């Protein structure tokens, strides 16, 4: 045994871990439901928000500063309020707040030798995570990184190096790829690249329209061929966001994606499945697995709920020395948390028709369908799949939807907006923590706020 192994098996560590878990569990008992801010904390909380706005150079979208404790889908803020976190910090909080399994894994990380692991020096838990990800993805190689956008950047670099001198990118209209200098050129929101120099040449293909399945597929093929005919052999890669998150939780089909992926293959264009938001949220672990597209995928990227982000790729896209490197690949606590969460997702009945993800999806959707039926014109939808659920209120008017989200926040539910023309309300349900009772309570609040603000 190494010294580290003996340390982890030291009975004092086990006892300390249990004491910490017991303490967290005891204090969680005070968190039972949504509650408003405490009067005596409002002034100090407002001052703290102002100080943070000054320090960061911009206002927060929500006046959210967490206290550091929660219980599953519920989270306490520093003003003493308790809210349902149904956006999961835009994805990472998939196991909810103050999860006791993650408390335990974080204790193990805290007594490890370093806070951060990097490309030059990595510990054995990094090897475990890479092996786990290559096994569950079916892709040969895994490069860890600290953010989803860097996972996407690394995938793009692999594609460009492999397909040199091709240097153009194909992507879907209304896609979101990130906000770096490169990915902001791909993300189909002009405001995200205002004032930035052009870095990539991007051509857009229309996404699947469920109201016109065959016609929209023909239109996508036509657009792809127009781009590739205009710029022969110039496209290195096409990014496939299989469920558009920022774009409004738009969902494609296997037939649609298969048609385009086969066309890309025939033209020598790499197929890149961007799974930063979909990973772990569909009825299978990866979106390309759910749509049965495994054989076509050359590259993939995961992030958000995985805690540590990763670029996954086939043998054909192995980089030459020097292409991929960085100081940090992830914190030891994030690496250990990723192992806990991904193993649980694989082993604990989250996937398939009877899995937890499908069950919570149908339970939430049932509430939204009832609201739509009982209050005609109130909402349209629902949209999305698995733990990704959205609906369109008030005809999708952007100003009204943004106002609704702030009112809903005050009432105790944290969601967010998605898409434009129409603008939708979206939820990323914390599937590792949320219960049917949570969904019932949140749906009651949601219905009341929707009716009061229509």
Distance CA 67, CA 83 (A): 12
Lay out the sheet containing 379-385: strands in order across: 379-385, 388-393, 424-428, 416-418
221-225-231 Cα angle (round to 5): 150
Judge whether 165 and 159 are in contact, CB under 8 Å.
no
What is residue 227's predicted lDDT score, i.e. its pLDDT? Answer: 98
What is residue 99's predicted lDDT score, i.e. its pLDDT? Answer: 98
What is residue 248's predicted lDDT score, i.e. its pLDDT? Answer: 87
Give the H or E element holding residue 82. strand 82-85
What is residue 163's predicted lDDT score, i.e. its pLDDT? Answer: 98
Judge whether 415 and 408 are in contact, CB under 8 Å.
yes
| List of E strands, 6-73 | 66-71
Q: Which of 86, 74, 91, 78 is nearest to 33 (CA)?
A: 74
Distance CA 260, CA 245 (A): 20
Q: Which of 242, 434, 243, 432 is nearest to 349 (CA)?
A: 432
**How far from 201 is each of 167, 170, 180, 237, 267, CA to CA, in Å?**
7, 9, 15, 11, 18
What is residue 347's predicted lDDT score, i.e. its pLDDT? Answer: 97
What is residue 247's predicted lDDT score, i.e. its pLDDT? Answer: 86
φ and ψ at residue 397, rounded to 5 degrees: -65, 120
φ and ψ at residue 205, rounded to 5 degrees: -120, 135
Take residue 421 and report the two structure tokens written for it: 């023309």
Distance CA 429, CA 350 (A): 13
47 — alpha (psi -120 to 50), left (phi > 0) or beta? alpha
Q: Are strands 82-85 and 413-414 parallel, antiparallel or unpaired?
A: parallel
DSSP class per residue in 172-195: ETT----SSTTHHHHSS-GGGGTT
289 prior amide bond cis, ω within 30: no
Take residue 38 and report the two structure tokens written for it: 């405490």
Model confidence pTM above 0.75: yes
Judge whether 300 and 148 are in contact, CB under 8 Å.
no
Q: Which parts of the chain register pLDDT below 50?
A: none
Give the H or E element holding residue 237. strand 235-240
Sign of CA dihedral 57, 59, 60, 66: positive
Query: How many residues are given for the chain?
Result: 454
**How far from 27 is each of 20, 24, 82, CA to CA, in Å?**
11, 5, 14
């Amino acid at each position: 045994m190494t010294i580290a192994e003996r340390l982890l098996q030291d009975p004092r560590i086990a006892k300390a871990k249990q004491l910490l878990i017991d303490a967290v569990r005891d204090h969680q008992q005070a968190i039972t439901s949504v509650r408003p801010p405490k009067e005596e904390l409002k002034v100090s909380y407002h001052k703290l928000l102002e100080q943070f706005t000054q320090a960061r150079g911009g206002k927060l979208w929500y006046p959210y500063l967490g206290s550091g404790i929660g219980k599953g889908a519920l989270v306490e803020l520093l003003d003493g309020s308790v809210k349902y976190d149904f956006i999961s910090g835009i994805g990472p909080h998939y196991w909810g707040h103050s999860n006791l399994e993650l408390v335990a894994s974080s204790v193990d990380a805290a007594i490890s030798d370093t806070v951060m692991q990097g490309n030059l020096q990595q510990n054995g838990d990094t090897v475990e995570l890479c092996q786990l990800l290559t096994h569950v993805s079916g892709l040969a190689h895994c490069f860890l990184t600290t953010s989803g956008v860097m996972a996407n950047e690394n995938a793009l670099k692999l594609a460009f190096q492999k397909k040199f001198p091709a240097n153009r990118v194909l992507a879907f209209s209304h896609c979101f790829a990130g906000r770096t200098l490169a990915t902001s050129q791909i993300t189909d929101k002009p405001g995200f690249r205002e004032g930035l120099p052009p870095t990539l040449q991007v051509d857009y293909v229309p996404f699947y329209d469920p109201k016109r399945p065959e016609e929209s597929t023909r239109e996508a093929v036509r657009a792809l061929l127009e781009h590739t005919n205009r710029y022969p052999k110039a496209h290195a890669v096409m990014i496939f966001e299989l469920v558009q998150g920022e774009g409004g939780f738009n969902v494609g089909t296997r037939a649609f994606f298969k048609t385009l992926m086969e066309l890309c293959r025939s033209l020598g264009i790499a197929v890149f499945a961007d799974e930063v938001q979909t990973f772990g949220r569909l009825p299978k672990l990866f979106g390309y697995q759910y749509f049965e597209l495994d054989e076509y995928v050359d590259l993939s990227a995961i992030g958000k709920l995985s805690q540590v982000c990763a670029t996954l790729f086939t043998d054909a896209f192995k980089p030459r020395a020097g292409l991929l490197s960085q100081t940090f690949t992830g914190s030891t606590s994030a690496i250990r948390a990723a192992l806990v969460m991904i193993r649980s997702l694989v082993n604990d009945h989250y996937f398939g028709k009877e899995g937890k993800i499908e069950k919570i999806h149908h339970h939430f959707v049932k509430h939204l369908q009832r609201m739509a039926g009982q209050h005609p014109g109130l909402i349209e939808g629902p949209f999305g799949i698995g733990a990704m659920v959205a609906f369109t209120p008030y005809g999708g008017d952007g100003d009204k939807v943004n106002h609704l989200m702030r009112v809903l926040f005050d009432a105790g539910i944290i969601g967010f907006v998605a898409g434009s023309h129409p603008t939708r309300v979206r939820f990323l349900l914390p599937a590792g923590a949320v219960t049917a009772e949570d969904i019932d309570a949140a749906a009651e609040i949601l219905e009341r706020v929707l009716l009061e603000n229509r």
